[in-house]
Amino acid sequence: MNENEIKIKNKIIELQNKISEWDKHYYDFDDPIVSDEIYDTEYNKLKKYEEQYSYLFSDSELQSSPTNKINAHLSRIFTKVEHDFPMLSLDKTYSIEEIQKFIDNIKKIASKFSFFIEPKIDGLSISIKYKKGKLFRAVTRGNGQIGEDVTSNILQINNIPKEIDYQEDLEVRGEVFLAIDQFEKLNMSLKEENKPIMANPRNAAAGTLRQLNPEIVKQRNLSAFLYYIINPQKHNIFNIEDSFRFLKKLGFEVTKEAKKVNSIEEITKYIGDFKEIRKKLNYETDGIVIKLNEIKFYEQLGQTSKFPHWAIAFKYEPDITSTILKDIFITIGRTGVVTYNAKLDEVELSGTKVSYATLNNYEFIRNLGININDSVYIKKSGEIIPCLIGIANKNNYEIFKPIDTCPYCKNQIYFNETGLEQFCLNQDCPEIKIRKLIHFTSKEALDINSLGEKNITLFHKLNYINDITDIFKLKDYQDELINLSGFGEISIKKIIQSIEEAKNKSLEKLIFGLSIPLIGIKSAKFIASKVLKLENVLDFDFSIFEEYHDFGSKITSNLIEWFKDEKNILLIKRLINLGVNPSYLEEQKTDILSNLSFVITGTLSKPRSYFEKIIYKNGGQVFSSISSNIKYLLAGEKAGSKLIKAKKFNIKVITEEEFYELLNS
């Protein structure tokens, strides 16, 4: 090897190591450190180099490269099961030319054939066996040869039938995923509970499927699309289109967008149409899968160690570009939380000009290892502001250091106990004040939309609004405000009218609007349902919340502290004096269960939250642990320690049926 070749080889090894490291985070920790796009770019680069310079490596060196591993390493918790037929992966392309090559290869052995196109679902593949019409076992892909038995978790997925009207042994394969709306719901509740959120639906699904507690799996509402039957000919199925019909008839869900086509022109059209359609689906796709429809040719086409030759994945070029990071600056939120932002050299990204991107917190910067002047990748991700997702070229040797002074009040900012977030703790920070005011008028809070961000900032600057009570005093300055430049009688009257209307909004909206630490919409609603009227908060005993299911001691102590603070007490009193004293606008409610406390355990036919709601709605209470104060234990299947404890305390154990009887009594 000459000097240049040594250099090249080292560069390739460096790339191999980098991708192995990414694999480890993705597959073993369910916590990717780079986006799929960067991964794909670098992976493809490595593949190309390895082919070009294969003569620099020994066979065993090439064998151990990440490009030669079927990934998804096994975790240790679930029973390992060997697949009767290996679960392969798909070769992927980004261009029509490569699809043409795929077709040319089929043409070598077949003259008349068609294709079946399906969305490529971004989830986890699963193989499910049915025996005598009953779901028998479900196994993950694992390393392709050996997977993990996750039957108990798959049984929690609503759209996978537990029984089918088909007595022959059957093995079906498909993709388990978390729908986008469910993913958002999950992250919202994780956020409210102050737990780390999930990076994307795929990783959330992976984490969920690995849960040892099937109850959690049930709550998270995973879904599955099935797309393949093992040994289809044995079941008199000779093409993929018919296998979809067969699966559908048995009660499996298949993608509605799947379609049989006959030519490369039709494939090209599907690719064009689906590019837009995919953005509106409630599940994530990273492309499409093109399969040869006629199964009889499969055996002859054969496969490599990784991919079959009868199918290929087409991936869309991502909406991603690179630019120079010009500056990093922070903004402060209503809780004092610090958000890092990037100022970029303006570039065009999927049709719009972009000069800012979000960076989240300092941890995000540290993970990416970025600094000012680096060339970085940015990506459009649903939101208007794009996200910075990785380094294209490091131009600055160091990593950007955390900012330690609040740019608005010049006070020191601190890391919290987790070390992940930073906060400005200055109660009088003008930016926090403005953010709180804006939150108070936001849609989920009091929804005073005519008083937008711009007006609040201006009125604050002009000293009309200092805290939320001042909003309700604006009407006293009506004449002055009308004379401000840019305003007039109509606009000011409209603002004042919507402020007056806000006084009668529900208590939960007001409580949410107060920006009490850790109190999200869900908790605010719960508090409102207990407190009933604003004035009651002044002498309400919040310590009882500690006992409530899902509330926890941290939130409770925060709440107690907040309502003990003289400043906050004064704020509430002033609100009430200004005529702001909203009530909890109850849903239809009875008192059938009043003074009855419940604990819920085991697997029930619906999620626990469903029963909780019914109990609250009918005046009852739900607790998380058994004590002598509990009246009923509502127990489903596989109830564990709580059942034993309930018997010890002589607490009445009821089934779901008995629960409904109680309600109807």
Instruction: Name residues contacting ligand IVH, limited to 123-142 (CB under 6 A).
Output: 125
How far from chain centre, in Å, is Cα 487? Answer: 42
**Residue 329 CB, nearest distance to ligand IVH (Å)?**
40
- Per CB under 6 A, the list member of 8, 13, 70, 88 interacting with ligand IVH is 88
Q: Identify which of residues 79 and 304 has a Cβ nearer to ligand IVH in the complex.
A: 304
C-alpha span between 109 and 23 (Å, rounded)? 37
Q: Identify which of residues 74 and 190 has a Cβ nearer to ligand IVH in the complex.
A: 74
Neighbours of 335 (CB within 10 A): 16
**What does each C-alpha distance from 422 to 261, 366, 426 come to in angstroms?**
54, 14, 13
Q: Comparing C-alpha atoms, which of 245, 21, 307, 18 is closest to residue 116?
A: 245
Strand ordering across the sheet containing 259-261 = 92-93, 311-314, 285-292, 115-121, 259-261
7 noted as active-site residue: no
**Residue 149 CB, nearest distance to ligand IVH (Å)?**
18
Longest dimension (CA), the chain: 89
Residue 175, SS3? Answer: strand
**How many CA atoms within 13 Å lie on the side-chain side of 120?**
19
* Phi, psi dihedral angles at 77 (to 5 degrees): -85, -40
Q: Which of the following is catalytic: 120, 129, 218, 642?
A: 120
- Per CB under 6 A, the list member of 227, 598, 611, 632 interacting with ligand IVH is 227
Is 422 within 8 Å of 416 (Cβ atoms)? Answer: yes
Return the H-helix or E-strand segment holding 557. helix 552-564
Q: Identify which of residues 220 and 309 has a Cβ nearer to ligand IVH in the complex.
A: 309
Determine if 311 is a binding residue for ligand IVH (CB under 6 A).
yes
**Residue 120 CB, nearest distance to ligand IVH (Å)?**
4
How far from chain centre, in Å, is Cα 125? Answer: 19
C-alpha span between 604 and 611 (Å, rounded)? 9
Q: Identify which of residues 171 and 508 has a Cβ nearer to ligand IVH in the complex.
A: 171
Is residue 409 marked as binding?
yes
**Which range of residues in 85-93, 274-282, 325-333, 473-481 is near ligand IVH by CB under 6 A?**
85-93
- Per CB under 6 A, the list member of 33, 90, 146, 349 interacting with ligand IVH is 90
Is residue 315 marked as binding?
yes
Is residue 40 marked as binding?
yes
**Residue 387 CB, nearest distance to ligand IVH (Å)?**
24
**Residue 121 CB, nearest distance to ligand IVH (Å)?**
4
Is residue 118 marked as binding?
yes
Determine if 175 is a binding residue for ligand IVH (CB under 6 A).
yes
Is residue 429 marked as binding?
yes
Select the residue whose beta carbon is closest to ligand IVH and give its number. 125
Is residue 291 marked as binding?
yes
Q: Identify which of residues 106 and 413 has a Cβ nearer to ligand IVH in the complex.
A: 106
**Residue 141 CB, nearest distance to ligand IVH (Å)?**
6
441-445-449-451 Cα dihedral, nearest 10 degrees: -10
Across the strands, what pairs with 435? none
Is 312 within 8 Å of 288 (Cβ atoms)? Answer: no
Q: Identify which of residues 89 and 187 has a Cβ nearer to ligand IVH in the complex.
A: 89
Q: Identify which of residues 148 and 421 has a Cβ nearer to ligand IVH in the complex.
A: 148
Q: What would the x/- binding string for ligand IVH be over residues 103 to 122, using CB under 6 A?
A: ---------------x-xx-
Determine if 180 is a binding residue for ligand IVH (CB under 6 A).
no
Return the H-helix or E-strand segment holding 553. helix 552-564
Neighbours of 376 (CB within 10 A): 26
C-alpha span between 594 and 604 (Å, rounded)? 23
Provide the annotated active-site residues: 120
Instruction: Give the binding site for ligand IVH (CB under 6 A).
Output: 88-90, 118, 120-121, 125, 175, 227-228, 289, 308, 311, 313
- Could you list the residues known to form a binding site, using ranges: 36-40, 89-90, 118, 141, 175, 291, 315, 406, 409, 424, 429
